[in-house]
Amino acid sequence: MQHKSFFDSIQFFFATRSSGELVLFALVLALPLLFFLLRELNRYRLRQQALRTKAMILETLQEAQLQNQNFEIQIGEQNSRVSYSSILDHISDDRLEFNVLHHVASVWVTNKADIFFSVINKGIRHFHKFRVPIVAIHARQKSSTITTALPKGLEIGQKRAFFRIAPLPNTVRVLALWLLAPSEPLPRSTSEIGPPFLSCKIRRDGFNEDFFSLHVEDISGSGIGLRLQTTAEDERLVKDGQILCLLVYNESMHGEEHLVNFCCTGRITNIRQAQDNDATKILGIEFTNWALLEKGNKNITWFHQAKATGIGPILQWVTKMDIEQRKTP
């Protein structure tokens, strides 16, 4: 008996099958191949998406690094949470290195850190947050390097509440407060602004010529706390009342003095009695509009303040003071 070749067997198989059976057979063969191709295509898309996401993350972090933005690192659980202000020092393909002007205990290695930062893009400040494990901590006496993994994603629009800080000594030069009527328009020129309700001037040696009548209790990117003495005109200070404030501060922490003439309007969100002095009140004020006054220019260009974004110049000043404070053991 003559044996058929493998080719002859295949030819015989197809010759003895109906067209319907051949179509069914083709589908049976094609389905695994189609499944394999779709799976590989999906894997390719995921890889490309991951590469695009990583490129976006690196671009955002590099831009924040170039802008010398502050990164706040929060470690620990709610009842033992610590926070460090830092600068992004180095970016690699899978690691981030943060320079912290504070001693950081090595026990935090392998813990996960929540890191908050912002970056300015086309004049708008965008806030970001990510959570990553701490890979290493190189601690020195007054500074540390925290190494973390590169984040796999950024949470857009998720930010911590603005932290408040008492201004460092010798940083506030002039402080003045005006009360605004609800229907009163914003002044377009400094010549439209009359005598202040309260004011004080601080000399370079740190002496406040009217310290007990008015000074800054604390300040953040979204508001300011003003401490003032009780006066007969306190009935004009009410919750939701509108104020105009001039704050002249020294932006430079070291070297030559650089004064910023910051003008703002705000809404009084709360009024509380100072615990250390019955004759003193503290106004909690939320910024609503702001402007930077130029020397020799009477015109005022106002910018509206959205509650979620904070004021750029004040954010930078507060961050610088926070970092400077952390240098002191």
| Residues 112/133, Cβ–Cβ less than 8 Å | yes
pLDDT digits over 16-41, tens only?
Answer: 667 776 677 677 777 787 788 888 88
Asked whether 118 and 102 are in contact (CB, 8 A), the reply is no
Domain ranges of the chain: 1-160, 172-326
**Whole-number Å distance between alpha carbons of 28 and 71:** 57
Contact 292, 260 (CB under 8 A): yes
173: tokens are 């030069």
On whether the CB atoms of residues 151 and 162 are closer than 8 A, the answer is: no
The pLDDT value recorded for residue 306 is 62
**CB contact at 8 A, 265 and 304:** no
Alpha-carbon dihedral angle through residues 302, 63, 323, 139, given to the nearest 10 degrees = 170
Could you give the 3-state DSSP secondary structure of residue 164? Answer: coil
Burial class (CB in 10 A: 0-12, 13-18, 19+), 175: buried
C-alpha 136 chain-centroid distance: 24
Sign of torsion over alpha carbons 107, 321, 282, 213: positive
Could you list the beta-strand ranges (E) of 43-168: 70-75, 82-91, 95-100, 112-121, 124-139, 144-149, 155-156
pLDDT at 91: 94
Judge whether 1-160 and 172-326 match in fold.
Answer: yes
Q: Which residue has the tokens 């003095």?
A: 257
Task: State the Cα–Cα distance between residues 298 and 256, nearest whole angstrom.
Answer: 25
The residue assigned the tokens 């290195």 is: 97
Confidence (pLDDT) at 1: 46
| Per-residue model confidence as pLDDT tens digits over 60-97 | 999 999 988 888 888 887 556 777 878 899 999 899 99
Q: Each residue of 189-206: b (16+ CB within 10 Å) or e?
A: eeeeeeebbbbbebeeee
Q: What is the CATH number of domain 1-160?
A: 2.30.110.10
Q: Given 3.30.450, 3.10.580, 1.10.287, 2.30.110, which CATH number is that of 172-326?
A: 2.30.110
**Residue whose token pair is 């690094």:** 65
Listed as ranges, residues in the chain with pLDDT below 70 are 1-17, 21-22, 25, 78-80, 157-162, 203-212, 230-234, 275-276, 306-309, 326-329
User: Can you give the pLDDT at residue 178?
Assistant: 93
What is the rounded end-to-end Cα distance, in angstroms, of the chain?
100
